[in-house]
């Protein structure tokens, strides 16, 4: 820790020595900009994938209610009107008698109440697990959103810092080019110095243009991940001191499988599968329901008198349906469901291995990136010191212009590598937290 604190102090003293960086930090604290937390919160409310997951929850809740509605009384009505063009005739002795009336009508009102149904019992027991599965799906989407938005946020900051470094290098290189050109015109040096300055300046300008375009692309990615309306500008607020304090993670933690949303999703599927097995196993039980109906009938030889007199009937009863023989389908369904449960058990075991592998890989990457970050902090400090010394020696005529270019290139490379390392360690930390299942999302 003492070494880390020492390296941090060296790096910060060199990085914050630039007045441009100080102005940048001050500007970042102004209002009207999105912090990382605000970007994440906005994405969790407006990203299309999150909204779709929430809609799926609402759809699932409606489907559950639709399935459970079978327990409630079912009311129905049927109406019929018949014009008997040719009525039925029957022979009684020597007489042919026409049966029925020319016009008939009836209204059937019936209420059914389900008393027991194996399917409705399954729906009732599975409702809680279905809601849990839908909630976990939304949670998984939100976790991925937090990780992807955070990485996109860091990526933009990395590119912005690269652009700042390149801009500072361009200013220095332009001055060196003017100095070298003036010395050449005065006959103090040959033209190779300012030619080298021209080559270096052109290269840095090309890098600046590439970085500017990269910022535009990275910003578009973050806008998409956040669900920002097209055309709405996006400005970020950030504090590098706070960012560097947030890179630390406890590397002594042990992975807890139950904390991973993927593990919870598989467990929920396993519980639903157990209910399916129970449903098929008890498939021989009868379906029972009670009913009551009222059926007014109307008969008349004339249509105008059809509804003048009714002849109602009414009944109440119990209906029971018993599956006697299904050709062995129930037993096969039970076997299939049990095998599917065994498959889920194997998948749970394999998921534990996969989670452990993900955690070990993420932890190894984090430790490597963290070590690189510390090393590059020291490199920035050393490269800054070397450049300053070479610059003084060049001004005094001790070092050649080539030595100055090499020192400046080393400084620029060290600074760019430092911010690359900072992004890598922040991204690695997110992967460690995802592997541990410790990324918190709002419900």
Q: How confident is the model at residue 326 (pLDDT cuts 50, 70, 90)?
A: confident
List beta partners, residue 122. none
Please give the Cα distance from 416 to 424 (Å, whole number): 12
Same domain, 164 and 222: yes
Average pLDDT of the residues in 284-310? 91
Same domain, 411 and 316: no
Q: Is residue 227 part of a domain?
A: yes
CA atoms within 13 A on the CB side of 210: 8
Domain span holding position 295: 77-114+287-321
What is the pLDDT at residue 408? 87
Average pLDDT of the residues in 52-67? 95
Between residues 245 and 424, the one the model is more confident about:
424
Q: What is the pLDDT of residues 6-49, one digit of tens each?
A: 334 434 344 333 333 333 333 333 345 889 999 999 999 999 99
Q: Which span out of 25-34, 141-150, 242-251, 318-327 was modeled with the highest average pLDDT?
A: 141-150
Average pLDDT of the residues in 329-341? 93
Mean pLDDT of the chain: 86
DSSP class of residue 70 equals: G
Please give the Cα distance from 223 to 234 (Å, whole number): 7
Average pLDDT of the residues in 374-380? 92
DSSP class of residue 255 equals: P
Same domain, 226 and 84: no
What is the pLDDT at residue 174? 86
Q: What is the pLDDT of residues 427-438, one digit of tens each?
A: 999 999 999 999
What is the pLDDT at residue 32? 57
Domain ends where: 321, 345, 373? 321
Q: Is residue 194 part of a domain?
A: yes
Please give the Cα distance from 330 to 280 (Å, whole number): 6
Same domain, 62 and 122: yes
Same domain, 173 and 189: yes
What is the pLDDT at residue 11? 42
What is the pLDDT at residue 8? 40
Same domain, 68 and 180: yes
Same domain, 134 and 190: yes
Q: Is residue 132 part of a domain?
A: yes
Q: Is residue 275 part of a domain?
A: yes
Average pLDDT of the residues in 99-123? 92
Same domain, 13 and 92: no
What is the pLDDT at residue 5? 41
Q: What is the pLDDT of residues 190-225, one digit of tens each?
A: 777 778 888 888 998 999 999 999 999 999 999 999
What is the pLDDT at residue 443? 62
What is the pLDDT at residue 153? 94
* Residue the block writes with tokens 């599927």: 269
How much of the chain is helix, strand and coil, in % rounded to 5? 70, 15, 20
What is the pLDDT at residue 25? 33
Pairing of strands 95-98, 287-300: unpaired
Please give the Cα distance from 388 to 376 (Å, whole number): 18
CA angle 388, 394, 400 (to 5 degrees): 120
Q: What percentage of the chain carries pLDDT values higher than 90?
A: 57
Same domain, 272 and 295: no
What domain count does the chain have?
A: 2
Q: Is the pLDDT of residue 228 over 80?
A: yes
Same domain, 312 and 263: no
Annotate 382-401 with three-state secondary structure: HHHHHHHHHHHHHHCCCCCH
pTM of the complete model: 0.81
What is the pLDDT at residue 107? 94
Average pLDDT of the residues in 325-343? 92
CB proximity list for 211: less than 8 A, separation 6 or greater: 159, 162, 163, 166
Domain ends where: 321, 341, 366? 321
Same domain, 148 and 240: yes
254 burial class (0-12, 13-18, 19+ CB within 10 angstroms)? exposed
Q: Is the pLDDT of residue 354 over 90?
A: yes
Instruction: Write the CATH number for 170.
Output: 1.20.1600.10
What is the pLDDT at residue 1? 37
Please give the Cα distance from 300 to 321 (Å, whole number): 38
Q: Is residue 442 part of a domain?
A: no
Same domain, 88 and 175: no
């Amino acid at each position: 820790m003492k070494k880390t604190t020492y390296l941090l102090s060296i790096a910060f003293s060199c990085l914050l020595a630039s007045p441009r960086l100080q102005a940048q930090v001050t500007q970042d604290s102004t209002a009207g900009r999105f912090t990382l937390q605000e970007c994440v919160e906005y994405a969790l409310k407006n990203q299309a994938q999150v909204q779709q997951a929430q809609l799926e929850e609402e759809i699932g809740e409606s489907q559950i209610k639709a399935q459970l509605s079978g327990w409630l009384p079912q009311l129905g009505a049927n109406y019929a009107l018949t014009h008997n063009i040719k009525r039925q005739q029957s022979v009684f002795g020597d007489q042919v008698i026409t049966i029925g009336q020319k016009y008939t009508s009836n209204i059937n009102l019936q209420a059914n109440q389900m008393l027991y149904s194996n399917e409705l019992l399954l729906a009732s027991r599975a409702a809680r697990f279905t809601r849990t599965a839908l909630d976990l799906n939304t949670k998984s989407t939100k976790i991925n959103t937090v990780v992807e938005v955070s990485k996109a946020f860091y990526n933009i900051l990395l590119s912005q810092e690269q652009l700042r470094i390149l801009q500072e290098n361009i200013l220095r290189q332009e001055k060196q080019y003017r100095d070298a050109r003036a010395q050449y015109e005065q006959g103090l040096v040959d033209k190779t110095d300012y030619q080298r300055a021209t080559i270096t300046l052109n290269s840095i300008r090309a890098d600046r243009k590439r970085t500017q375009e990269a910022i535009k692309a990275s910003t578009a990615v973050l806008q998409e991940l956040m669900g920002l309306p097209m055309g709405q500008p996006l400005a970020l607020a950030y504090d590098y001191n706070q960012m560097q304090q947030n890179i630390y993670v406890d590397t002594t933690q042990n992975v807890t499988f139950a904390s991973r949303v993927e593990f919870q999703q598989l467990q929920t599927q396993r519980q639903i599968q157990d209910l399916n097995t129970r449903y098929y196993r008890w498939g021989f039980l009868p379906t029972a329901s009670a009913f009551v109906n009222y059926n007014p009938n109307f008969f008349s030889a004339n249509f105008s008198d059809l509804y003048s007199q009714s002849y109602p009937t009414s009944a109440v009863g119990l209906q029971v349906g018993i599956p006697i023989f299904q050709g062995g389908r129930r037993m096969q369904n039970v076997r299939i469901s049990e095998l599917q449960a065994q498959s889920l058990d194997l998948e749970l075991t394999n998921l534990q291995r996969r989670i452990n592998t993900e955690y070990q890989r993420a932890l190894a990457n984090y430790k490597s990136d963290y070590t690189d970050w510390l090393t590059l902090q020291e490199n920035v400090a050393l490269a800054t010191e070397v450049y300053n010394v070479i610059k003084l020696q060049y001004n005094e005529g001790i070092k050649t212009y080539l030595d100055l270019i090499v020192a400046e290139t080393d400084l620029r490379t060290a600074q760019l590598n430092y911010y690359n390392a900072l992004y890598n360690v922040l991204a690695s930390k997110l992967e460690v937290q995802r592997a541990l299942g410790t990324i918190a999302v709002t419900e």
